Amino acid sequence: MLRTHTCGELRKEHAGSEVTLSGWIRSIRDHNHFAFVNLTDRYGFCQVYFDENLKPQLEKEAYVQLKGEVKARPEKEINPNMATGEIEVICKEMKILSRSKVLPFELFDKIDVKEETRLKYRFLDMRRPQMIERLTMRSKIASAIRKAFEEMSFLEVETPVLVRSTPEGSRDFVVPSRVHHGKFYALPQSPQLYKQMLMIGGLDRYYQFARCFRDEDARRDRQLVHTQVDVEMATTQQEDVFRAVEHVMKTIFSDVLDVELKTPFPTYTYDEVMARFGIDKPDMRFGMELIDCGEAVSESGFVLFENALKDGATIKGIVAPGCAAYSRKQVSKLEKYIHQFQAKGLVAFKVKDGKLEGSPVKKMSEESVQKLYEKAAAQDGDLLLLCVGKSDIVHRSLGELRNYLARELNLIPEGEYNFLWVIDFPLFEWDEEANSWTPMHHMFSMPKDEFIENFEENPGDVKAQLYDLVLNGVELGSGSIRISYPEIQKRVMNLVGMSEEEAQKKFGFLLDAYQYASPPHGGIGMGFDNLVMTMLQLENIREVIAYPNASNGMFLYDGSPTPIECEQLDELHLNVVEKEEDEEANNEKSSEE
């Protein structure tokens, strides 16, 4: 037997027991004639005493098996910071099972090491207690999700991993077929079409932990490969999906974090959250809502405001609490931040002695300054920041600035989890580059009843039975009630510029399935990695994934992607066209940036 107990298992009641432990020697505290070792495994740490005869065998981070006696520590030597802090093991014999090279970094929680190094040596990074705890929590959350769905009679069903390439918004990862020359599979961006066919197939309630693949640039909350908690329900309405998802969330927060959520979650329309918070995934843990200032400054005499309003621009603002002391340099830093969202700048007013101050005040009438002050409802010591421009740019810029300021000013309370549903998304949005209408989410979402008859007339006004689940400013999931009528589906495809012939070619298998009496159905796809990250109150999704890709799309632990052998290329009838050196260098530079 290689071990009788784990390193985190022993307690005071084990005193006097003979035990066998196996683990890594994480640290050695040498006291000349004896030494203390922290022996560790996934389950925790245990202090082990070595006398001067056994001490010479000690090697840091070696994996060892030892036998010894559990001894209760004297009260003054108890370590309250360790689960096993009331005991130590007196080692009687030890065997080194495996030796370690010098580590590239220390395996403690607080380490100063580049993320690239951690990802390259991910197998070592996982030994750190922090990473073990995060992956353990991920497993517990997955178990609670399964428990909740099974309580509601959902079936866990696996959908295909090799699928037909279809346009779903991002580039597909494609897989060449060796057997079928010149043809390709794709790795699924989501199980969307296949879960809909499960409903037509009569499975009624489905879920799975689906691996989804998207060939796109990596960012903080997105990986080339991510795990999605995928859900679909037949004979359902929007509220039925909400109640099912709320039961899942209530279960996992209670079982894993011992947090009791209030349900049902509040519901807001897309138009409302955009007007109040500027973005469609608002963080509701703090205020600082957007203020519509257009009417207040419409007759201000300030040329910037009046000309902008004549041109149909939007003027909105936010109040940064306690920031009236900001210097011009600090305001410029805020302006630089919103430039990335195409905003041109900010108009700043300081609030002092119950009135607005600042250079813009000199260009405005007293009446309009007072109107703006009353509209802002700001307090002495606050800073009012106005943004002027196109509606979508103003909303996005102020929405992102709101989140930025909340972090900078420590306005976000710890330990709070604020869920909400955002409903009634537009079904279509205008793509200026393509000069055509395109689905805001995807083309399989059902228009709201009042738009079904003539949605082609004013596509920009059409609302869909589309909804997002948001937690603390993170979009956890997106879903909809699906189109289950082939005639409506063809109309939507036609509106976004897809001919009937092209629709049949790309989606014929789904359209054909519709011909066999599809029940009304809907569902949602929830980002499992995002959920774990948000529950653990982390900022980087790579911290909750065992084997994530780096920011440049490389998997550093195995060096992929890599070239393949010529024989493999020949079998697949493929030829690699070399890039020109300058182009390749530019791409590498872009990846690094």
Q: Are 466 and 483 in contact (CB under 8 A)?
A: no
Q: Which long-range contacts (CB under 8 A, 24 or more apart) does 560-568 make?
A: none
Q: Are 39 and 48 in contact (CB under 8 A)?
A: yes
Ordered DSSP codes for 162-206: SB----SSSPPEEEE-SSSTT-EEEE-S-SHHHHHHHHHTT--EE
280 is in an annotated binding site: no
- Whole-angstrom distance, CA of residue 136 vs CA of residue 544: 10
216 is in an annotated binding site: yes
Tokens of 533: 């990250």
Tokens of 283: 């963080």
Is the link from the previous residue into 561 a cis peptide, with omega within 30 of 0? yes
Q: Are 337 and 318 in contact (CB under 8 A)?
A: no
CB under 8 Å to 322, separation ≥6 — which residues? 381, 382, 409
Ordered DSSP codes for 466-482: EEEEEETTEEEEEEEEB
CB under 8 Å to 30, separation ≥6 — which residues? 55
Compute φ and ψ for 374, nearest 5 degrees: -65, -40
Instruction: Give Cα 417 to chain centroid, integer Å.
Output: 15
- Whole-angstrom distance, CA of residue 341 vs CA of residue 400: 9
Tokens of 476: 């956890």
Sequence-ordered alpha helix ranges (H) in 81-237: 115-120, 122-125, 129-151, 192-200
- Whole-angstrom distance, CA of residue 341 vs CA of residue 395: 10
- Whole-angstrom distance, CA of residue 563 vs CA of residue 576: 9
Residue with tokens 């007013």: 349
- Looking at the chain, the number of H-run helices and the number of E-run strands are 15, 22
Q: Are 312 and 388 in contact (CB under 8 A)?
A: no
Instruction: Give Cα 7 to chain centroid, integer Å.
Output: 33
306 is in an annotated binding site: no
User: Which DSSP helix (H) or strand (E) runs through 88?
Assistant: strand 87-98
Residue with tokens 């007759």: 299
CA distances from 375 to 298, 316, 371, 387, 402 (A): 13, 11, 6, 15, 18
CA distances from 579 to 7, 583, 585 (A): 53, 7, 10
- Whole-angstrom distance, CA of residue 276 vs CA of residue 553: 36
93 is in an annotated binding site: no
What is the pairing mode between strands 155-156 and 205-213? parallel
Q: Are 557 and 547 in contact (CB under 8 A)?
A: yes
330 is in an annotated binding site: no
CA distances from 153 to 139, 205, 386, 479, 541 (A): 21, 7, 51, 20, 31
**What is the DSSP-derived secondary structure letter of residue 108?**
S
366 is in an annotated binding site: no
Annotated binding site for ATP: 214-216, 223, 475
Annotated binding site: 168, 214-216, 223, 441, 475, 482
Annotated binding site for L-aspartate: 168, 214, 441, 482
